[in-house]
Structure 1
Amino acid sequence: MGLEFDNHRPIYIQIMEYIYSGISRGDMSPGSKLLSVREFAVEAGVNPNTVSRTYMEMEREGVVVSKRGQGTFVTEDTAVIETLRRDIAAKQVDTFLDTMHNLGIDDKTILNLMKERMDDAKED
């Protein structure tokens, strides 16, 4: 599974981010079943209560659906998944912009750098 936890942030949030990233990348398709709480806990090396809390929070956010006796599944609502993807992307952009501004780079220069990098990527 390859999870390494940051001791300065709640583990359940880090697990949510891991799962949300997988959903956003398409590693977990709409309607796919997540590991059981116990299976996930064993693979991640965490307490089952932590995974249970993670699943409850994700269900509260509408990203997963629990079916009694069957397990927990990724929502089939593609609008929710697209919103999740956009939220993750927006956080990445915010982090990038904060870093650039902390380096003293102005918005116009940031845009020019991004355009250059995007053009370079197209050529590769």
Structure 2
Amino acid sequence: MEEFNASKPIYLQLADRINRQIVSKELKAGEKLPSVRDMGIKYSVNPNTIQRTYSELEREGILEAKRGQGTFVTEQEARLVELRDNLKQEQILLFVQVMQEMGYSSLEMISGLKDHLNKLDIGDE
């Protein structure tokens, strides 16, 4: 099981994990999530923490609670596309910040990224 980072609230780390599962299609639009209790057991956290995670993702329009049925991934395609783009932008920002801190220029970053993608044979050029 993955460990939690002490510098960020657990409910937000769980929200990030769920978001990544949605973007990677591990969780699909309209799919039911485990109950608060089952999710708490899975991650060894208090069910109140899971409830807070689910509530946060509902507020963001990522999850939808259906009374008496459970919690589901939204089927609003526009919201899922927006989520995917937001996660991509966050990762790019993080990458650029770290590379800048190490003293790399924009051209060095682009060149390094292209080289890396070419080695993986997933470049689009």
**Under TM normalisation by the shorter chain, which class is it?**
over 0.9
Q: Which residue of 1 aligns with 2:44?
A: 45
Alignment gaps of 5+ in structure 2 = none
Q: Which residue of 1 aligns with 2:92?
A: 93
Aligned-residue offset at 1:9: 1.1
Aligned CA-pair RMSD: 1.5
Task: Tell me the TM-score normalised to structure 1 length.
Answer: 0.93
**AA at the equivalent of 1:86:** D
Separation in 2 of the partners of 1:116 and 1:44?
38
Number of residues of Structure 1 aligned to a counterpart in Structure 2: 123
> Which range moved further: 112-121 or 5-14?
112-121
Separation in 1 of the partners of 2:2 and 2:76?
27
Q: Which residue of 1 aligns with 2:101?
A: 102
Q: Which residue of 1 aligns with 2:25?
A: 26
Q: Deviations over 1:83-118 (max 9, x none)?
A: 111111111111111111111111111111222222
Aligned-residue offset at 1:120: 2.1
Q: Deviations over 1:68-93 (max 9, x none)?
A: 00000000011111111111111111
Question: Percentage identity across aligned positions?
Answer: 37
Q: Deviations over 1:52-78 (max 9, x none)?
A: 111111000000100000000000011
